Amino acid sequence: MNKNINLPEKLENKIKCNNPRCITSVEKYITHTFYLVNREKGEYRCRYCDEIVKVMED
Ligand SMILES: [Zn+2]
């Protein structure tokens, strides 16, 4: 177990939102902020549009 244990609770400017209508896709200088919602699945939720982005550790 202990899957994805090193994933932080919050990611800033590490990943990009997949939603083309998200404000982070429009505003170039906004901070891309994501919050961890599911550590086992490596799922982060966009602060601005609630899009889910998956991040897996190697
Ligand atoms: Zn977004």
Position 28, amino acid = K
Note the pLDDT of residue 58: 64
pLDDT tens-digit profile of 13-38?
999 999 999 999 999 899 999 999 99
Q: Where are the domains of the chain?
A: 10-54
Residue 37's Cβ-side half-sphere holds a number of Cα atoms within 13 Å equal to 12
- Higher-confidence residue of 33 and 5: namely 33
Whether 12 contacts 35, CB under 8 Å: no
What spacing in Å lies between the alpha carbon of 51 and ligand 1's midpoint?
5
Q: How far is the CA of 20 from the centre of ligand 1 (A)?
A: 8
Among 17, 20, 58, 22, which Cα is nearest to 34's? 17
Q: Predicted confidence band at 44 (pLDDT cuts at 50, 70, 90)?
A: very high
Instruction: Tell me the pLDDT band of 3, cut-offs 50, 70 and 90.
Output: confident
CATH code of the region 10-54: 2.30.30.20
